[in-house]
Structures are given as C-alpha cells and as structure tokens.
Amino acid sequence: MNNALNSVGELSTRSLDQRLERNPELRERVHRLLDVIDAATGDCVTAAQAEARVVEEIRKMGVEALTAWSERAEAEAQQAVRTNHPEAVRDSKKNSTGIRSSERSG
C-alpha cells in the first residue's frame, strides 16, 4: 500500500502539462470542458443546462481516463508475464480442431 501512495506522490510532483502530454485524449477533453465552462453563460439558458453540459464532459473524461488506465495496466501485465514467464506461449493457434460430429461414438 505504501508503494501505491509513494507512486501517487511522485506523479503529483510533475506538472499538469507534463502529465497531460502522456494522455493527449485527456488533454483534449480538458480543453473541451474548459470550452463548455467558458461558453456556458452564452449557450445555456438555465443552470441546469450548464450543469448537464459540464457533467457530460466530465463523464466522457472519466471514460477516456479509465480507458487509458486499462490500456496501460494491460500492457504492464503483459510485459510482466513476458518477463516472469518467458516460456509462456502467446497467441498460438490450437493444433486440434476437436472431434468431428461424424466421428463421435454414441
């Protein structure tokens, strides 16, 4: 647990720009969110409309952030398997097609 906390602390010492450079989709989403906030007073008639637009952008940002996280986690897991188990077979075809229905006894 301390390793996870230390890792988070190390990440937060980098600037937001440095961190967003690694996540261009998230950077673009942050810009869109700021565009919504900047334009909210002109585009939206009610606070509820402004809130709906901001919530939608934040929802999309969350999806993109989790997608980026899962892609990195999968790549790291695959690398760990390759490192720890170099003999593991990756993406191989099965040699057997099974038993044809006409060969079954029964």
The DSSP string of 23-88 is -HHHHHHHHHHHHHHHHHHHH-SSHHHHHHHHHHHHHHHHHHHHHHHHHHHHHHHHHHHHHH-TT-
- Provide the pLDDT for residue 1: 45
- Provide the pLDDT for residue 45: 74
> How far is 51 from 40, CA to CA, in rounded Å?
9
Q: Where are the domains of the chain?
A: 10-84
- Provide the pLDDT for residue 46: 81
- Residues with pLDDT less than 50, the chain: 1-2, 5
SS3 8: helix
